[in-house]
Structure formats: structure tokens, C-alpha cells
């Protein structure tokens, strides 16, 4: 870690550990910008398209970056959600953090990807040198959108609700003998768990009660379109957002925050175009969107008398799960160098880090609404565990956020194996997800003032039995 980064971390940590700053009212602003890239780029998510050197041919529906800026107690957070397969590399994110801080006084930046598999490919490092021009354009657009949202800040009221939608299943089927079979296709909607059907909704209103934004949190891979699709699409997120926005007359901005979808696929996943992929994508989005809209409409937002915004940015170091040199050599042997354009990009070029540094961001709004982020594809059990254990009433779980390090299976899932659990698509040490979750829980308790920095008593006034 260089000095600048170390100082940055210390500053962030100090901010998180300080007593919460409170202000009379929380303020919110939103913005949206089209980030659809030009045709002709490699696409994200399906290795066969990369192997065949297939490039995008156009756009089914536009890809957006959506931004919500929240301000309370003199602190600002920007929640950015991208209709993309993953977030950009650490350099992009670092520059964005610095630029958003400078331009819009954003203290904590949360950049999350929806994980659509019909977006452009994004790499940690590009074999041709620098990133494509499109990435630079997105940088400018997101920065400008964040600035617009910050300029548009207005007093706001918040409210949350939970419901259920049944559009996904667990694609790892654990057999009676303990082995795992991947259930890649499931159009018959055979129930297979664990699945978290919870739809979490955060509604942000103006003071007059008119909606500014509806945030939807749900765990499901946006992979209704399969690898035969060569056109950009937000997948089911597009019709979901359209359904929610339509239900409110187009007034609020709907933002989708992908949850812990590492093992969750939509029932109609990988539907070929000639088998009705577009219709099934609409069905999936509408199912989720209808439930999200129903929930959003029922929310009675409240203006907090003492609004607050607390956050913590932890960078946690983890070991590799596999010997990284053997992993790189094995991947090269088995799949060739193109594999690093699909996953394990961190091994593809340049120096091999001895350990992996993963950012976990924890945010607490008004001491009632908590967010945790993980930089990759956490298995759904983490989202369930977060909601069960988080000490505040409203808990949102964001995967695919602030970095991308592929899959985080649970310890149990890692032992069972299967895609994302026992193969080369996961390479951070087993137990990483559990530790990240525990860290976030500790942070929330700290923000609530439940974990002080000094013990409550000295031993001489202790109860007698040690």
C-alpha cells in the first residue's frame, strides 16, 4: 500500500469510527446517464463469445449509469449502479473516488454493477495496453452524473419495505451423495435452494412526498439473454426498472442493486433468442418490477428528526485459494490466454499480487438502514446471513461492488464444489465471504455506538468470577 492510499484508508477509518454526525434532514439527489458503448466491442460474461471473437452488433436496450447522492451531517455518499457485467478496475475506481471527492465532495463512493451478461467486456488490464476509449467516456459521464445529483440535493424522506419475487433458483443442485450438479437450465422452474426471494426496496421522496428514487435490491444473475445474443442489454433489469418507473408515472428513478447472486440464476436463464428470450426477459423483469412497485407504493416515507450518514471503507487482505502460479499455468494450459478476458483477470497481465486486497464498504443511514458491499459474486447465503444478523431493521446487500474478484462461496459451498465454488472461477481464500460479512457487522455495531474503543470497566470493579 502506498502512502497516499494508506492515508486515505486512515482518514476513512477515522471517519467511520467517529461518533455519527447528525443533521436536521437528509438530502438526496439523483441522475441518470446513458453509457451504452458503441457496437463492435467484445461482450461480457460468456466465454464462448470471447473464444469465437464475437463482437457486439448493436443495442437491444440502452445501458445506464444511475446515481443517488445522499447527504447527512456534512457527509455525502454516492451510490452508483451500472448496467454492466462488473465494475471497472481498481485504477478506474480509485480515480473516480478522488474525482468525485474533489468535484462533488463525495466522502464515500459505492459503485455497483448489475452484472448483466449483455454488456461490453471489462477487464482489469487490457492486453492491448490501456482501456478502450469507451471506459474513459463512462468515467466522465458517471462523474458528471454524480455532480448533477449532488447539485440537485434536496431535503428527502426515506422508507423501506420488503416483499418477495420468485424469478430465480439456485443453480447448484447438491445431490444426496454430496456431489453438485450444475442446473444450468431450468425453464420448468424446478425449485432449488437456497434462494433468497426477498425484494428489498428503499424509497426516497421529496419533502412533499413525491418520489425521487426507488432502490431495488434483489439477488439474481441477469442472464436471461444467452451467449447467442450480441446486442447490448441490461437484461431483466431494464424491464424491471421500466415497470417500477411506469408505476409512478415515470417520476422516480429506479435503481437496481444486485445482491448476492453468485449462485442464483433466473428460471429463464440463457434462453436462446429464437426461443423467446426477449419475452422471457420481459416476464422476469415485470415480475420483479411489479413486486418492487407494489412495495414502493406502500412505503410511508419519514423525515428523520436526526439524520445521519456513517460509513466505513475497509480494505481486507486475503490469501489466494489456489497457488496463483499454478492457477495461471493451469488456466493457460487448459483454456489459453483468452481465459483472462473472462475471469481471474488479476492473473492475466503484470505482476502477481502476493495477497488480494478487497474493499468492503459498510454504510449506515439514519442509524436504521444498512448497506454492505462485496467486490465480486457472493453466494446468496451471505445475503440471508447479513439480513438475519444485521442489528438494524433495514439491511441491503450489494454484490459486484467496488471491485471484482469473481466468486465468494460459503465455506460449506466451497467444500461441495461446483461452478463458482470449487473451480477456477473462485480464487480468493475459502472463508473470505464470512470474514467480510463479519467485518461489516462489526462496523454497523460500531456505528451504532455499541462497540466502544475503551472497555466499560477496569478489572478491579469486575464481577468476581472471571
Tell me which residues touch another protein (CB under 8 A): 322-323, 326-327, 330-331, 334, 389, 391, 411-412, 414-417, 422-424, 426-427, 430-431, 434-435, 438-439, 441-442, 445, 448, 450-460, 462-466
Distance in Å, CB of 462 to another protein, minimum:
6
Determine if residue 366 is left, alpha or beta; phi over 0 gives left, psi from -120 to 50 gives alpha, anything else beta.
left
- C-beta closer to another protein: residue 55 or 182: 182
Grid cell 446468496 in the structure block, residue: 380
Phi, psi of 32 (to 5 degrees): -140, 145
CA distance linking residue 28 with residue 429, whole number of Å: 38
- C-beta closer to another protein: residue 34 or 423: 423
- C-beta closer to another protein: residue 228 or 425: 425
CA distance linking residue 346 with residue 124, whole number of Å: 6
Distance in Å, CB of 70 to another protein, minimum:
25
Q: Do 41 and 160 meet the contact criterion of CB atoms below 8 Å apart?
A: no
- C-beta closer to another protein: residue 125 or 434: 434
Distance in Å, CB of 444 to another protein, minimum:
9
Distance in Å, CB of 441 to another protein, minimum:
5
Q: Give the number of other CB atoms < 10 A from CB of residue 1.
A: 11
DSSP secondary-structure letter at 73? T
Beta bridge partner(s), residue 378:
408
- C-beta closer to another protein: residue 95 or 389: 389
Per DSSP, the residues of 31-48 read EEEE-PPPSS-BBSS-HH
- C-beta closer to another protein: residue 39 or 442: 442
CA distance linking residue 316 with residue 375, whole number of Å: 11
Per DSSP, the residues of 151-177 read HT-EEEEEEEEEEE---EEESEEEPTT
Distance in Å, CB of 402 to another protein, minimum:
21
Angle at which helix 3-17 crosses helix 432-447, to 10 degrees, equals: 50
Nearest to 363 by CA among 67, 93, 75, 66: 75
CA distance linking residue 266 with residue 200, whole number of Å: 17
Distance in Å, CB of 122 to another protein, minimum:
22
Q: Do 264 and 219 meet the contact criterion of CB atoms below 8 Å apart?
A: yes
Distance in Å, CB of 430 to another protein, minimum:
5
Distance in Å, CB of 161 to another protein, minimum:
25
Grid cell 454524480 in the structure block, residue: 146
- C-beta closer to another protein: residue 191 or 334: 334
- C-beta closer to another protein: residue 94 or 431: 431
Q: Do 162 and 199 meet the contact criterion of CB atoms below 8 Å apart?
A: yes
Amino acid at each position: 500500500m502506498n502512502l497516499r492510499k494508506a492515508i486515505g484508508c486512515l482518514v476513512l477509518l477515522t471517519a467511520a469510527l467517529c461518533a455519527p454526525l447528525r443533521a436536521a434532514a437528509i438530502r438526496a439527489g439523483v441522475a441518470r446517464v446513458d453509457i451504452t458503448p458503441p457496437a463492435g466491442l467484445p461482450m461480457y460474461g460468456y466465454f464462448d463469445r470471447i473464444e469465437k471473437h464475437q463482437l457486439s452488433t448493436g443495442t437491444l436496450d440502452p445501458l445506464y449509469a444511475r446515481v443517488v447522492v445522499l447527504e447527512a451531517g456534512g457527509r455525502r455518499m454516492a451510490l452508483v449502479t451500472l448496467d454492466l457485467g462488473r465494475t471497472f478496475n481498481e485504477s478506474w475506481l480509485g480515480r473516480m473516488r478522488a474525482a468525485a471527492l474533489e468535484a462533488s465532495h463525495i466522502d464515500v463512493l459505492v459503485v455497483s454493477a448489475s452484472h448483466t451478461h449483455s454488456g461490453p467486456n471489462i477487464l482489469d488490464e487490457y492486453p492491448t495496453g490501456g482501456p478502450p476509449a469507451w471506459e474513459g467516456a463512462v468515467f466522465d459521464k458517471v462523474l458528471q452524473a454524480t455532480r448533477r445529483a449532488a447539485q440537485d440535493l434536496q431535503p428527502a424522506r426515506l422508507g423501506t419495505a420488503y416483499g418477495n419475487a420468485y424469478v430465480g433458483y439456485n443453480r447448484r443442485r447438491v445431490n444426496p451423495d454430496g456431489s453438485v450438479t450444475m442446473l444450468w437450465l431450468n425453464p420448468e422452474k424446478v425449485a432449488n435452494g437456497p434462494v433468497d426471494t426477498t425484494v428489498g426496496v428503499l424509497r426516497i421522496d421529496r419533502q412533499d412526498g413525491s418520489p425521487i428514487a426507488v432502490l431495488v435490491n434483489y439477488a439474481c444473475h441477469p442472464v436471461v439473454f444467452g451467449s447467442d445474443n450480441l446486442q447490448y442489454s441490461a437484461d431483466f433489469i431494464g424491464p424491471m426498472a421500466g415497470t417500477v418507473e411506469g408505476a409512478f408515472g415515470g417520476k422516480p428513478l429506479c435503481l437496481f442493486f444486485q445482491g448476492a447472486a453468485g449462485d442464483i440464476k433466473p428460471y429463464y436463464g440463457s434462453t436462446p433468442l429464437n426461443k423467446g428470450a426477449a419475452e422471457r426477459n420481459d416476464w422476469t423483469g415485470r415480475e420483479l418490477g411489479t413486486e418492487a412497485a407494489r412495495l414502493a407504493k406502500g412505503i410511508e416515507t419519514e423525515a428523520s428528526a436526526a439524520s445521519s450518514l456513517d460509513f466505513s471503507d475497509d480494505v481486507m487482505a486475503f490469501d489466494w485459494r489456489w497457488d496463483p502460479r499454478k492457477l495461471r499455468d493451469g488456466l493457460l494450459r487448459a483454456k489459453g490466454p483468452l481465459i483472462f478476458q473472462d475471469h481471474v483477470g488479476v492473473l492475466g497481465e503484470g505482476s502477481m499480487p502476493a495477497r488480494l486486497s478487497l474493499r468492503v464498504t459498510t454504510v449506515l443511514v439514519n442509524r436504521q438502514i444498512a448497506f454492505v458491499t462485496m467486490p465480486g459474486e457472493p453466494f446468496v447465503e451471505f445475503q440471508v446471513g447479513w439480513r438475519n444478523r444485521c442489528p438494524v431493521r433495514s439491511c441491503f446487500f450489494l454484490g459486484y461492488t467496488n471491485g471484482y474478484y469473481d466468486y465468494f462461496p460459503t465455506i460449506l459451498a466451497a467444500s461441495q464444489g461446483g461452478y463458482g465454488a470449487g473451480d477456477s472461477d473462485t480464487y480468493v481464500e475459502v472463508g473470505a465471504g464470512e470474514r467480510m460479512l463479519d467485518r461489516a457487522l462489526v462496523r454497523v455495531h460500531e456505528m451504532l455506538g455499541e462497540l466502544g474503543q475503551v472497555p466499560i470497566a477496569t478489572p478491579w470493579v469486575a464481577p468476581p468470577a472471571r
